[in-house]
Amino acid sequence: MREFADAILVFSLAFNPALGQSVAQPVSASEQKIEQAFLAVPDARLAGEHLKTLTAAPHIAASKEDYATAEYVAGKFKAAGLETSIVPYKVWLNFPNEVKITATDGSGKVLMTGPTPEHVTGDAYQDDPRIVTAFNSSSPSCDLTAEVVYANYGTPEDFKKLADLHVNINGKIVLVRYGHNFRGVKVYLAQLGGAAGVIIYSDPADDGFAKGNVYPNGPYRPATGVQRGSVQYIFKYPGDATTPGIASDPDMPESKRTPPENAVSQPTIPATPISWQDAEPILKNLTGPGVPKDWQGGLPFEYHTGPGGVKVHLLLKQDYAYRTIWDVIGTVDGTIYPDEWVVAGNHRDAWVYGAVDPSSGTAAMLEAVHGIGELLKSGWRPKRRIVFGSWDAEEEGLIGSTEWAEAHARHLEHAVAYFNTDVAVSGPDFSASSVPTLKQFVRDVAHEVPSAKGATVYDQWKSSQATESKGHVNNGFSEKHINARVTDDVDVGDLGSGSDYTPFFQHLGVPSTDIGSGGPYGVYHSAFDDFSWYIKNADPDFTLLQQQARVFGLEVVRMADIGVLPYDYKTYASEIEIYLQTAKKKAVEAGMKDLKFNAAMAATERFSIAAAGIQKRGQVPAADIPGFNQALLNAEHALLSTNGLPGRPWYRHTIYAPGEFTGYAAVVIPGVNEAIDAKDTTRAVEQMGLLAEALNRAATALEGAK
Ligand SMILES: [Zn+2]
DSSP string covering 512-535: EEEEEEE-----TTSTT-SHHHHH
- How big is the chain by its Cα radius of gyration, in Å? 25
Question: What's the whole-number average pLDDT of the chain?
Answer: 93
Compute, in angstroms, the gap from residue 226 CA to the centroid of ligand 1.
16
Go through 502-516 and write b for each residue having 16 or more CB atoms within 10 A of its CB, e for each that does not.
Answer: bbbbbbbbbbbbbbb
213 in a domain, yes or no? Answer: yes
- The per-residue pLDDT for 663 is 66
Whole-model pTM: value is 0.95
Taking only the tens place, the pLDDT of each residue in 286-312 is 999 999 999 999 999 999 999 999 999
Q: Shortest CA distance to 556 belongs to which of 301, 350, 384?
A: 384
Determine the distance separating the centroid of ligand 1 and the alpha carbon of 210, expressed in angstroms: 25
Under the banding of pLDDT at 50, 70 and 90, the label for residue 666 is confident
Element (H, E) at 173: strand 173-177
How far away, in angstroms, is 446 Cα from ligand 1 center? 22
For residue 122, give its domain range: 93-321
Ligand 1 centroid vs 510 CA: distance in angstroms?
20
Rounded (5°) CA angle 125-128-130: 130
The answer to whether the peptide bond before residue 115 is cis (omega within 30 degrees of 0) is: yes
Report how far ligand 1's centroid is from the alpha carbon of 453 (Å).
25
Average pLDDT over residues 359-384: 98
Min mean pLDDT across 96-100, 101-105, 132-136, 179-183 is at 179-183
Indicate the SS3 state at residue 506. Answer: helix
Whose CA is closest to 607, among 693, 673, 685, 684?
693
What is the band of 512 on the pLDDT scale with cuts at 50, 70, 90? very high
Average pLDDT (226-244) is 97
Task: Tell me, in angstroms, the distance from the centre of ligand 1 to residue 579's CA.
Answer: 29
Distance CA 425, CA 551 (A): 12
The yes-or-no verdict on residue 5 having pLDDT over 80 is no
Could you give the dihedral angle defined by the CA atoms of residues 610, 614, 616 and 617, in that order, rounded to the nearest 10 degrees?
140
pLDDT at residue 462 in the model = 94
User: Which residue, of 321, 348, 383, is where some domain finishes?
Assistant: 321
Beta-carbon contacts of residue 224 (< 8 Å; ≥ 6 apart): 116, 117, 118, 119, 120, 275, 277
CA separation (Å) from 641 to 170, 584, 636, 651?
37, 22, 11, 9
Residue 118: which residues within 8 A CB-CB, separation 6 or more?
126, 131, 134, 222, 224, 225, 226, 275, 526, 527, 528
Last residue of a domain, one of 321, 350, 380: 321
State how far the Cα of 200 lies from the Cα of 190, in Å rounded to an integer.
12
pLDDT score of 1: 31
pLDDT at 497: 74
Q: How far is the CA of 481 from the centre of ligand 1 (A)?
A: 18
> What's the 36 CA to ligand 1 centre distance in angstroms?
30
SS3 at position 198: strand
CA of 444 to the centre of ligand 1 (A): 26
Decide: residue 622, CB within 10 A, 0-12 exposed, 13-18 middle, 19+ buried.
Answer: middle
In a domain, 130, yes or no: yes
The answer to whether 645 and 651 are in contact (CB under 8 A) is yes
Query: Domain with 167 in it: what CATH number?
Result: 3.50.30.30
Q: String of b and e for 478-488 (b: at least 16 CB within 10 Å)?
A: bebbebbebbe
pLDDT of residue 2: 29
CA–centroid distance, residue 501 to ligand 1 (Å): 12
Which residues on neighbouring strands pair with residue 653, listed in sequence order?
A: 640
State the pLDDT at residue 598.
Answer: 97
Q: Which of 270, 303, 321 is the last residue of a domain?
A: 321
d(CA 59, CA 66): 4
Burial class (CB in 10 A: 0-12, 13-18, 19+), 127: exposed
- Full DSSP string of 376-428: HHTT---SEEEEEEEES--TTTSHHHHHHHHHTHHHHTTEEEEEEEEEEESSS
Question: How confident is the model at residue 473, as a pLDDT?
Answer: 79
Angle between helices 543-561 and 29-39 in degrees, nearest 10: 150
CA of 497 to the centre of ligand 1 (A): 11
Q: Is the sign of the CA dihedral 23, 25, 29, 31 positive or negative? A: negative
**460/471 Cα distance (integer angstroms):** 17
pLDDT band at 8 (very low <50, low <70, confident <90, very high): very low
pLDDT computed for residue 477 by the predictor: 58
Report CA(67)–ligand 1 centroid distance (Å): 17
Examine the pLDDT at 674 and tell me if it is beyond 90: yes
The stretch 176-184 carries a mean pLDDT of 95
Q: Is the dihedral of CA 332, 336, 338, 342 positive or negative?
A: negative
At 240 the three-state DSSP class reads coil
Residue 521 located in a structural domain:
no
Is there a domain that residue 407 lies in?
no
Band the pLDDT of 276: cuts 50, 70, 90. Answer: very high
Check: CB of residue 531 under 8 Å from CB of residue 540: no
Structure confidence at residue 18 as a pLDDT band (50, 70, 90): very low
pLDDT of residue 571: 95
For residue 516, list its beta bridge partners: 431
Q: How far is the CA of 528 from the centre of ligand 1 (A)?
A: 15
pLDDT digits (tens, 9 = 90+) for 543-573: 999 999 999 999 999 999 999 999 999 999 9
The more confident residue out of 11 and 221 is 221
Confirm whether 422 is domain-assigned: no
Q: Please check whether residue 87 lies inside any domain of the structure.
A: no
pLDDT tens-digit map of 49-81? 999 999 999 999 999 999 999 999 999 999 999
CA of 357 to the centre of ligand 1 (A): 5
Q: Are strands 311-332 and 83-104 parallel, antiparallel or unpaired?
A: antiparallel
Q: What is the pLDDT of residue 7?
A: 28
Q: How far apart are CA 370 and CA 352, in angstroms?
A: 26
How far apart (Å, rounded) are the C-alpha atoms in residues 232 and 239?
9
pLDDT of residue 705: 85
Number of domains within the chain:
2
**Percentage of the residues of the chain whose pLDDT score is greater than 90:** 87
Tell me what pLDDT residue 480 has. 56
Asked if residue 23 belongs to a domain, the reply is no
Nearest to 358 by CA among 628, 545, 145, 629: 545
Residues 6+ apart with CB under 8 A from 251: none
Where is pLDDT greater, at 660 or 561?
A: 561
Residue 576 clears pLDDT 70, i.e. is over it: yes
Q: Is the pLDDT reported for residue 328 higher than 60? A: yes
661 contacts 182 by C-beta, under 8 angstroms: no
- Main-chain phi, psi angles of 686, to 5 degrees: -65, -45
Ligand 1 centroid, distance to 120 Cα (angstroms): 24
CB-based contact 190:174 (threshold 8 Å): yes
Catalytic residues: 394
Asked whether residue 281 is assigned to any structural domain, the reply reads: yes
Concatenating the DSSP letter of every residue in 549-577 gives: HHHHHHHHHHHHH-SS----HHHHHHHHH
User: What CA–CA distance (Å, rounded) separates 375 from 41?
Assistant: 9
Ligand 1 center–CA 467 separation, angstroms = 26
pLDDT at 619 over 90: no
Strands 384-391 and 337-347: parallel
CATH number at 668 reads 1.20.930.40
Report whether pLDDT(10) > 50. no
Is the pLDDT at 255 greater than 60? The verdict is: yes
Q: 672: CA distance to ligand 1 center in Å? A: 30
